[in-house]
Amino acid sequence: MKMTSTQLCFSAWLLLTLVAVNQAQGIPVTYTYVGSTYTSTNAPNEPGFTLSDFVFATITLDSDTWGTEVNHPPGSFGLINSGPWQVGTDAFHVTTDLAGTIIAWNLSGAIPGLDISTQSNLDGSGYDNIFGDRPTQGREQYAASVIYAGGSRIAGGSWTMMSVPDESSSLLLFCLALIPTLCVLRARTRRTAARIS
């Protein structure tokens, strides 16, 4: 059985569409956060707790989660730093808008004797802090923090998207939607040309 050009065109379109839809799923996106320097500390000379230290965080989210509020979604990953100290995220709660901008978050992590966390509400209020007795081997509790009042930081203004998703899959899907229309127009043009001649 011989396929007509319209059937062949439709078959090619269907195959390409299935491939494109499969590839158009979310991709991992990496973000970084740099907090303000601490404004209070009880260990001004201890690295990670000084008034020149701050929270630095890196997280990875799947772009499929954009426009939602997620709690430690599959494929997510995070690290939080302050000076020489680094912890993985134990608590991971992030809200993004549809463009992938992080607009609210609550991240925290711990190692024995040390906790680091950062939190922001939709109005920009929140805090960054580090506390624990690990630097003194349990002899003394150290703490440093900065507190943000509502409106003191722009929601999402603290995060930088380090890897931006490739939008070519959206363009590919748009082009694939045009193929059936072009096939129909081609078939009509051929039929019209055949009738004229």
Same domain, 81 and 140: yes
Residue 101 lies in a domain: yes
Radius of gyration of the chain (CA): 26
Q: What is the pLDDT of residues 28-85, one digit of tens each?
A: 899 999 999 999 999 999 999 999 999 999 999 988 899 999 987 766 789 999 999 9
Same domain, 38 and 135: yes
Q: Report which of 27, 11, 28, 9 is spatially closest to residue 19, judged by C-alpha positions.
A: 11
Residue 172 lies in a domain: yes
Residue 2 lies in a domain: no
Same domain, 146 and 177: no
Residue 21 lies in a domain: no
Beta bridge partners of 41: 144
Name the residue range of residue 192's domain.
166-197
Cβ–Cβ < 8 Å for 80, 108: yes
Q: What is the pLDDT of residues 113-169, one digit of tens each?
A: 999 999 999 998 999 999 999 999 999 999 999 999 988 776 556 899 887 655 555
Strands 142-148 and 126-132: antiparallel
Q: Is 124 helix (H, G, I), strand (E, B) or coil?
A: coil
**Full-model pTM:** 0.70
